[in-house]
Amino acid sequence: MTTTLISGGTVVSATGRGEADVLIDGETIVAVLAPGSHLLGTDLAASVDTVIDATGKYVIPGGIDAHTHMELPFGGTNASDTFETGTRAAAWGGTTSIIDFAVQKYGERVQDGLAAWHAKAAGNCAIDYGFHQIVGGVDDDSLQAMRGLVDEGVSSFKLFMAYPGVFYSDDAQILKAMQVSADTGLLTMMHAENGPAIDVLAAQLAEAGKKAPYYHGIARAWQMEEEATHRAIMLANLTGAPLYVVHVSAKQAVEQLAWARDQGWNVFGETCPQYLYLSLEEQLGAFSEEWGQFEGAKWVCSTPLRSRGEGHQHHMWQALRTNDIQMVSTDHCPFCMKGQKELGLDDFRAIPNGIGSVEHRMDLMYQGVVTGKITLERWVELTSTTPARMFGLYGRKGVIQPGADGDVVVYDPNGHTSISAATHHMNMDHSAWDGFEIDGQVDTVISRGKVIVDGGAYHGAKGDGRFLKRGLSQYLI
């Protein structure tokens, strides 16, 4: 078994930071020691197989992206990252675990959906992976099958209040699924947007000739997110289900979550880097030689980008600081412009929804540290520790301590990262983040004791990643 010592760095956790050396034996962290320690008289640096010098750098638990959609069939095509390409890109960016969404739809069995996602991922992933279960067809069979998910290590499921005819659940279905959630401890994840009303608005815009990508965001107005978030909260409270609202983008939805949390209700929220940095105004102004105004399709995602002028971004950063929002995931759902986004060239309603960011989440959130919006500790908490606690991985993941998996990232605050489609590792022909300059750089990425990224080179292999059987959320009461 290989032994690795990460020496001389500043180990950062959700609760503090300090100079320490980290010793990994095989796949597991076995000690966090005072710098330069001798263990039982042994000079550690001289006796391990590998020493990684982290002097002047941060040593953090590997990132956990709890919201990805590799190979998702959606919008008439499939998300362009496979489990192989997407998890490799994640590794490049300092993420060592993902939780992806297995899909069940009307007329399909939950067990078959989960088995299909196992088949897609097994033997292909660069990093460890778990699943949530999308229940896109709530009926007696799927409600019964949900009761078996915890035993499968799938301790959360997702419902959609959007996308009628695709994944949509009505209030009666949501109520029934939440009753199962309350009974079993499964965490209810919710895409909270009023889909039927959005579809009417979108049709009216299209009929009026407003078909450019920007109108996607106009149809998906913040009122649609606020209303659905409130409805989800009330149904969760009624049933006793724990609720986690995904990809929150509107400040009014944050206010709903904050209100519910202030009542002491078991309600949580996640946002994504796109809602912290990108805006509807930029999408409106987007133009390129190749695509003209259709350039804006690169930023078509749901929930949509919000208006900078309305203050959503500022509110969201604040909510991250005050813990009204607890986590940052990506909702990584990449589609190429050629052959995929261009399906909606004549009508925004046909543009596959999604942005690819799995590679950039750690860097983009570190920018929040650089600009003084969050602390170093909060960076780790939002991107690794809380995801581990929220989704039943804590102890193994999300923390640097003896007994935890050897998932460690050495991050160089003096490094620099330029984001560009020409250099990223995601399987996309463009980047929603093109031109972003990051003051910081992922140096070394270790996944269960194996150095998979170091010195600008990839040392991992397809199949390094294993399925994560997750326990119940630590936040259940």
Residues that bind ligand DUC in the complex, under the rule CB under 6 A: 69, 74, 191, 301-302, 331, 333, 353-354
CB 440 within 8 A of CB 102: no
Structure tokens of 443?
């140096």
Cβ distance to ligand DUC smaller for residue 64 or 333: 333
The distance of closest approach from Cβ of residue 193 to ligand DUC in the complex, given in angstroms and rounded to an integer, is: 8
Binding mask 132-171 for Zn ion (x = CB under 5 A): ----------------------------------------
Cβ distance to ligand DUC smaller for residue 74 or 275: 74
Question: Residue 463, Cβ neighbours under 10 Å: how many?
Answer: 12
74 touches which of ligand DUC, Zn ion, none (CB within 5 to 8 A by kind)?
ligand DUC
Examine residue 331 and tell whether it contacts Zn ion (CB under 5 A): yes
The distance of closest approach from Cβ of residue 354 to ligand DUC in the complex, given in angstroms and rounded to an integer, is: 4
Closest CA to 255 of 240, 243, 267, 242: 267
Q: Which helix (H) or strand (E) holds 259?
A: helix 251-262
Cβ distance to ligand DUC smaller for residue 347 or 439: 347
Examine residue 315 and tell whether it contacts Zn ion (CB under 5 A): no
Examine residue 3 and say whether the peptide bond preceding it is cis (omega within 30 degrees of 0). no
The distance of closest approach from Cβ of residue 41 to Zn ion in the complex, given in angstroms and rounded to an integer, is: 52
How many residues make contact with Zn ion (CB under 5 A)? 2
The distance of closest approach from Cβ of residue 302 to Zn ion in the complex, given in angstroms and rounded to an integer, is: 6
Three-state DSSP at 157 gives strand
Sign of the CA dihedral running 17, 23, 27, 28: negative
Cβ distance to ligand DUC smaller for residue 127 or 159: 159
Cβ distance to Zn ion smaller for residue 65 or 331: 331
Question: Which range of residues in 4-12, 190-198, 257-265, 310-318 is near Zn ion by CB under 5 A?
Answer: 190-198
Question: Residue 291, Cβ neighbours under 10 Å: how many?
Answer: 18
> What distance in Å separates the CA atoms of residue 156 and residue 325, rounded to the nearest whole number?
18
| End-to-end alpha carbon distance in the chain | 40
Closest CA to 18 of 32, 5, 4: 32
The distance of closest approach from Cβ of residue 304 to ligand DUC in the complex, given in angstroms and rounded to an integer, is: 8
Q: Which of 191, 312, 315, 430 is close enough to bind Zn ion by CB under 5 A?
A: 191
Question: In the range 389-448, which residues lie near Zn ion by CB under 5 A?
Answer: none
The distance of closest approach from Cβ of residue 275 to Zn ion in the complex, given in angstroms and rounded to an integer, is: 13
> What distance in Å separates the CA atoms of residue 137 and residue 143, rounded to the nearest whole number?
9
Cβ distance to Zn ion smaller for residue 104 or 444: 104
The distance of closest approach from Cβ of residue 183 to ligand DUC in the complex, given in angstroms and rounded to an integer, is: 26
Contacting residues for 382 by C-beta, under 8 A, at least 6 apart:
320, 326, 327, 328, 365, 374
Structure tokens of 152?
């499968």
Cβ distance to Zn ion smaller for residue 360 or 448: 360
Question: Which range of residues in 133-141, 176-184, 205-213, 327-335 is near Zn ion by CB under 5 A?
Answer: 327-335
Cβ distance to ligand DUC smaller for residue 58 or 74: 74
Cβ distance to ligand DUC smaller for residue 100 or 331: 331
Question: Which range of residues in 196-204, 282-290, 323-331, 462-470 is near Zn ion by CB under 5 A?
Answer: 323-331
Examine residue 303 and say whether the peptide bond preceding it is cis (omega within 30 degrees of 0). yes
**Angle at which helices 222-239 and 251-262 pack, to 10 degrees?**
20
> What distance in Å separates the CA atoms of residue 166 and residue 169, rounded to the nearest whole number?
9
Closest CA to 393 of 327, 458, 445, 459: 327
Cβ distance to ligand DUC smaller for residue 93 or 354: 354
Q: Which helix (H) or strand (E) holds 417?
A: strand 417-418
Cβ distance to ligand DUC smaller for residue 329 or 385: 329
54 touches which of Zn ion, ligand DUC, none (CB within 5 to 8 A by kind)?
none
Binding mask 272-311 for Zn ion (x = CB under 5 A): ----------------------------------------
The distance of closest approach from Cβ of residue 69 to ligand DUC in the complex, given in angstroms and rounded to an integer, is: 6
The distance of closest approach from Cβ of residue 267 to ligand DUC in the complex, given in angstroms and rounded to an integer, is: 19
Contacting residues for 228 by C-beta, under 8 A, at least 6 apart:
161, 162, 190, 192, 193, 194
By beta carbon distance, the residue nearest Zn ion is 191
> What distance in Å separates the CA atoms of residue 242 and residue 252, rounded to the nearest whole number?
20
> What distance in Å separates the CA atoms of residue 32 and residue 22, rounded to the nearest whole number?
5
The distance of closest approach from Cβ of residue 335 to ligand DUC in the complex, given in angstroms and rounded to an integer, is: 9
- Give exposure, 239-249, as e/b (b: 16+ Cβ within 10 Å): bebbbbbbbbb
Closest CA to 330 of 374, 391, 387, 406: 387
The distance of closest approach from Cβ of residue 420 to Zn ion in the complex, given in angstroms and rounded to an integer, is: 25
Judged by the rule CB under 5 A, the positions of this chain that interact with Zn ion are 191, 331
